Amino acid sequence: MKRLIILTAAIGLFSFYGCNANNEKKNKVEVKKEVKSENKEEGKVHHLTKAEFLEKVMNYEKNPNDWKFEGDKPCIIDFYADWCRPCRIAAPVLEELAKEYAGKIDIYKVDTQKERELAGAFGIQSIPAFLWVPQKGKPQMSKGIANSTEATKEMFKKMIDEVLLVK
């Protein structure tokens, strides 16, 4: 009987430590995946909250009268809503452009339904609305999209070249 109890205890301990070792290995793999995914963030459209906007684009609470860009690359900010058909048409175009211009510009989205204060701070009354923010100089606002996906992409590329990536 003692042998059975000792054997059961030993099996339990080995199982416990074996599972722990697997969990530690799994955790290391997950950490590596997180690091890789952070590096892959370029080339993607990022959704911004107000707090992230204040940190990455402009802190209008700290500097209400002066435009001070907080980013390290020019960016496009898409003010949108999920129910907006033109916004849904623009979304895949912005995804393509994020990949095409990876490392050169950032593309952000702000959900006007969730971030009402942020949308109000920029006077967004109709969507889609796009804030074009060059590295230096003042941003420009544009509204609406072209009548086709191809024309919308060409319109965006023209604005990127003329407003954001001006040399």
Query: What are the residue numbers of the active site?
Result: 84, 87
Nearby residues of 50 by Cβ (< 8 Å), 6 or more positions away: 115, 117, 118
Number of H helices, E strands in the chain: 5, 5
Distance CA 122, CA 120 (A): 5
Do 104 and 76 touch, CB atoms closer than 8 A?
no
101 burial type by CB count under 10 A (0-12 exposed, 13-18 middle, 19+ buried): buried
Do 109 and 140 touch, CB atoms closer than 8 A?
no
